[in-house]
Amino acid sequence: MSRRQVRRVGDSGSFPFVGALHSKSRSSPLLSVCLVLVGACLLIGYAYSGPGMFKSIREVSKITGDYSCTAEVQRAIPVLKSAYGDTMRKVLHVGPETCSVVSSLLNEEETEAWGVEPYDVEDADSNCKSLLHKGLVRVADIKFPLPYRSKSFSLVIVSDALDYLSPRYLNKTVPELARVASDGVVLFAGNPGQQKAKGAELSKFGRPAKMRSSSWWIRFFSQTNLEENEAAIKKFEQAASKSSYKPACQVFHLKPLH
């Protein structure tokens, strides 16, 4: 219904929907109800296309789908600090929405943090733009070698990004993450059954997310000569138990490449 048509129903010169609701004309109750429903639909459409909190919600959904392991990383930071101790002094995070993780890590005492964003940051907020300007966050295609020297970081944390890579690229990317770590890699992966990247977002990620089982990842680590860090696994489980933390994503702890 056009704007002109709506005004014909209400009082002359009044706002369309107000006029429809308060008009003393002979409009039927059914027509008034229809106008209210149309107005509600228009308001919802505006909320999802305009600025404000609805846009923020939409942007998070666009990046992470139904659940975000990147958000899980932020929940896990206190547990990781307890488990890894001084190893958390120089951290690299790799994954979508890395600016939020880097910001959280920088708030921790005696922790330096950097991030690699695998996807575009056209809609980055002012905080993310600042991190990009300072060089603390950079955009890079993780299917290719990372722009860092070996053992540049004490700990590397990766979330969400690997779920969108095929085994062809995982064979190169995961060992590359282990190459730039001096003490270890923490890998947050989605659980089978979790849904990520709906059809509308496939143009951004390139492919649908693949939720792989823990047994698949363990076989993958063995095939790529990557070792799980049993000592870190034990410390993480103990720290998680003490704080009643139950991760919603799979968490793997790997030794660095030497």
24 vs 10: CA distance, rounded Å: 9
For residue 195, the model assigns a pLDDT of: 54
Q: How many domains, the chain?
A: 1
Whether 16 is in a domain gets the answer no
pLDDT, tens digit (0-9, with 9 covering 90-100), for 38-63: 665 555 554 444 433 323 323 333 33
Whether 3 is in a domain gets the answer no
Residue span of the structural domain in which 80 resides: 76-254
Angle at 164 between CA 139 and CA 144, to 5 degrees: 45
Higher pLDDT, 29 or 57: 29
Whether 145 is in a domain gets the answer yes
For residue 192, the model assigns a pLDDT of: 86
Whether 194 is in a domain gets the answer yes
Least confident window among 15-29, 66-80, 119-133, 138-152: 15-29
Tokens of 59: 């942007």
89 vs 71: CA distance, rounded Å: 21
Whether 44 is in a domain gets the answer no
74-112: buried (b, 16+ CB within 10 Å) or exposed (e) per residue?
A: bebbebbbbbbeebbbbbbbbbbbbbbbbbbbeebeebb
**H/E element holding 250?**
strand 250-254
186 vs 55: CA distance, rounded Å: 31
Count of H-run helices and E-run strands, the chain: 11, 6
Whether 35 is in a domain gets the answer no
Per-chain mean pLDDT for the chain: 79
Whether 243 is in a domain gets the answer yes
Say which residues have a Cβ less than 8 Å from residue 159's Cβ, sequence separation at least 6.
Answer: 68, 69, 70, 72, 73, 93, 94, 95, 96, 101, 187, 188, 249
Instruction: Supply the CATH number for residue 95's domain.
Output: 3.40.50.150
Higher pLDDT, 164 or 3: 164
Whether 111 is in a domain gets the answer yes
pLDDT, tens digit (0-9, with 9 covering 90-100), for 215-228: 999 999 999 999 99
- pTM to 2 decimal places: 0.72
